[in-house]
Amino acid sequence: MTRVDGRVARGTPCAGWDLRRLVAHMTAQHHGFAAATRGVGGDPGYWREQERTGEPARAHRAAADAVLGAFAEPGVLEREFVLPELVGGFRGRTAIGFHFVDYVVHAWDVAATLGVRLHLADEVLTAALAVARRVPTDPAGRGPDFAFAPALKVAEGIGPLEATLRLLGRQPRAWLGTSRRQWSVPALKVAEETLRLPGREPWAWPRSGT
């Protein structure tokens, strides 16, 4: 991800965010979820984005390593996570699912911004789509002030990554790059390694604050 540093002013699929802002958001979310595993996720300071950092790639890489270490701790699936953006507490199994699908999408966001193709393992795509299908589509909970834009129509026969992106409000065909290079980023590492932690499975997105 070091080579990203010279392109941080590029616009991204996240409306109104350049790449620097997107990476800052991703970094803050890693720190926030790591804090939630320790029972202090209710403190907004852990989720605060750093306005400027001289080395965004290094900061994000360190945060990704921290959250993966936190998710690998014994008993984390049964802990209660407090997440400021959502009402109520969530079991670790469910909360980790939130972060997992978010980082499949953000891995694509970064790759699309740079005009490169993203390769994800089939097991990651299958799990991400299972979670995305459970995210409520009520327009009252979608839009600029929420985690995801309104869901888009999913045509029959499209691949699981495109289906996941469209269910979560992305327009992947508008961001198709011409490069055939595949690219691995820490966001992708978080998605894949989270899925491979012991006892993980496609998580159910709760339809209430439980």
> Quick one: tokens of 183?
């690219």
Residue 107, pLDDT score: 93
pTM: 0.80
- Residue 110 CA to residue 201 CA, distance in Å, equals 25
Least confident range from 25-34, 36-45, 116-125, 134-143: namely 134-143
Least confident range from 74-78, 95-99, 174-178, 185-189: namely 185-189
Q: Is the pLDDT of residue 91 over 90?
A: yes
Q: Is the pLDDT of residue 75 over 80?
A: yes
pLDDT in tens, 26-73: 999 999 999 999 999 999 999 999 877 678 888 999 999 999 999 999
Contact 29, 102 (CB under 8 A): yes
Q: Is the pLDDT of residue 188 over 80?
A: no
- Residue 30 CA to residue 190 CA, distance in Å, equals 9
Q: Which residues 6+ apart lie within 8 Å of 25 measured at CB? A: 14, 17, 49
Number of alpha helices (DSSP H) and beta strands (DSSP E) in the chain: 6, 2
Mean pLDDT, the chain, integer: 82
- The per-residue b/e assignment along 45-75, b for 16 or more CB within 10 angstroms, e otherwise, is ebbeeeeeeeebbebbbebbbbbbebbeeee
Q: How far is CA 20 from CA 12, 13, 16, 85, in A?
A: 10, 13, 11, 21
Handedness of CA 123, 163, 15, 95 (dihedral sign): negative
Residue 208, pLDDT score: 36
pLDDT in tens, 143-181: 777 778 788 999 988 999 999 999 999 988 877 653 434
Q: Is the pLDDT of residue 201 over 60?
A: no
Residue 182, pLDDT score: 44
- Residue 55 CA to residue 74 CA, distance in Å, equals 32
Q: How many CB atoms lie within 10 A of CB 92?
A: 21
Residue 178, pLDDT score: 38
Residue 57, pLDDT score: 85
